Structure 1
Amino acid sequence: MAKHGNRVARSKEDLQLELREQLELLVYACERYDAGKEAIGRHIALSLRVLLNHHGRSRSLLEQLGLRAGRWIDTAGAINPRNLATDSNLLMIRATNEGARYLPLCHMGESPNTGFEEFSVWWTRPVLKDNKGRFMSRMDIVSHIANSDGGAHVDPELDEAYMALSRQNSLGWEFSKDGIIEAIAGRPELACVRQIAHEVLESLKATGVSAGDRIE
């Protein structure tokens, strides 16, 4: 059994370097997703978990650097409680002669719902409702992908609501072509996580932090 030595605190400079590198990795993964490599959305989720998520004794990198405070860009807005249908304001559907596909909102330009929220609201407020009335937040989507669906681990079982979203079209959205109902192509959860990454990068940029910058 390997022996573990004493743990030593990382310097602020070391954490700043880590942030620059994590942002570079996130930007690279987003570029590859935008170029058609959809599966790299799992790496986007993993980078977002490192930047944002607290779990047990692990602290998010942005929290360690005091960068989670402030207002975060929210392109989804709140779920409409009067809407009885499914909802996911982080997504769009692009239809062409070849069919329809799930895409993140950033692929169409400016979101009509853009606002700002405190981090805790932005991270935990529902942004998706499925056909059984189950809700998911940004934290839920990122955590499911990163923790159990190919980000850092591949678990033998998946959360029921997440399984339904990612494999069983629990959003219930369909596309009609020449009178034939077709499934919408693409993974909605990965399109969501790409849009979350867009919000994170734009929120940090608004505070003067972007990939390659020196973080003070």
Structure 2
Amino acid sequence: MTGLDETHLSQLRVRLKEQIENLEVSAARYDAGWSGEANRLAVTVRVLVHDTSMSKSLLKQMGAKESMRWIDSNGGLDARAAAMFSSLVVFQAAVFKDRMELQILPLDQADILARGLLLDFATWWKTAPVMVGGGETISRFDVVDMLANQDGGAHVDLKKERFVKLLRSVPQVAPFFDGEDQGVSFGLPAHASEGLARETLRAAMRTIAEEVWLAWNNQLDLLDPGWRERPQTGGRIGPEDFISGLR
């Protein structure tokens, strides 16, 4: 982060702290059952890392984004050639006396740390797919773009061609019970459920938020040199912490 005016850099660090707090608050609300908070997580991540021809992300302005390493929950797996692939989410069939319900959950931080691999930003953001289906590949950028632009309020355009195509390409599952065992079937149904696809994207977004938080939390020496000398508050400094604090 050389070459930046220290006063300006200090102001950017204040904005970074605000965005991380936004990430933590929305993650806590998502974990408490408000799945729509995934849309706000997407907006926050976009502010932090997404560059356009008209604007620069916060971490780009800080001169840090390309120097950072980003944890890939898939362990560096390249699934671009797969016919069907879904990651960053866990599908579980919950069995009750009279019914079965499908639960779509983000990955726990412990699982991310156990199998994660550090990647450069470009690979983590756009090259490595997190879902493959219907001949389409969906990256972290696509997940953030769909939720932030379509559901987050920035550009609500439900007829956007690419958005609709990607939404229909989200691999879906359905619970089954054969009298002895229960589980989930995986694929692209003939009549895809838009609601199920959105919940899958939202769970993936929660995992992406955890990855982004880990990238920040474990590279503070790069992002904010001198942080060790300042009093720490909140008790959430360290790779073993969850960003929500609720688990």
Do they superpose with TM above 0.5?
A: yes
2:8 to 11, 14, 22: 11
* 2:171 is aligned with 1:171: yes
Shift of 1:92: 0.9
1:33 to 30, 34, 38: 30
Matches of 1:214 and 1:149, distance apart in 2: 38
SS of the residue aligned with 2:124? helix
Unaligned ranges ≥5, structure 1: 1-9
* 2:52 is aligned with 1:55: yes
Matches of 2:94 and 2:147, distance apart in 1: 28
Shift of 1:139: 1.0
1:75 corresponds to which residue? 73
Contact map agreement 1:44 1:193 (CA 8 A) in 2: yes
1:196 corresponds to which residue? 208
1:110 corresponds to which residue? 111
1:99-146 superposed Cα distances (whole Å, 9 cap, x missing partner):
222111127x31353111011111112323443120011111111211
- Going from structure 1 to structure 2, the CA distance change for 1:31 and 1:156 (only over 3 Å counts) comes to same
How much identity, in percent, do the aligned residues show? 29
Contact map agreement 2:80 2:132 (CA 8 A) in 1: no
Matches of 1:54 and 1:215, distance apart in 2: 27
Matches of 1:128 and 1:208, distance apart in 2: 27
1:4-34 superposed Cα distances (whole Å, 9 cap, x missing partner):
xxxxxx8222211111111101110001001
- Going from structure 1 to structure 2, the CA distance change for 1:79 and 1:159 (only over 3 Å counts) comes to farther
- Going from structure 1 to structure 2, the CA distance change for 1:158 and 1:150 (only over 3 Å counts) comes to farther
Instruction: State the aligned residue count.
Output: 200
Shift of 1:72: 1.0
Matches of 2:79 and 2:140, distance apart in 1: 17
Contact map agreement 2:16 2:58 (CA 8 A) in 1: yes
Match for 1:201: what amino acid? W
C-alpha root-mean-square deviation of aligned residues, in Å? 3.0
2:63 corresponds to which residue? 66
Alignment of 1:145-160 (within 5 A): 145-160=147-162
Contact map agreement 1:131 1:172 (CA 8 A) in 2: no
Query: Which deviates further from its counterpart, 169-178 or 119-128?
Result: 169-178
Matches of 1:102 and 1:79, distance apart in 2: 23
Unaligned ranges ≥5, structure 2: 1-6, 186-192, 229-247
Matches of 1:131 and 1:137, distance apart in 2: 12
Contact map agreement 2:80 2:137 (CA 8 A) in 1: no
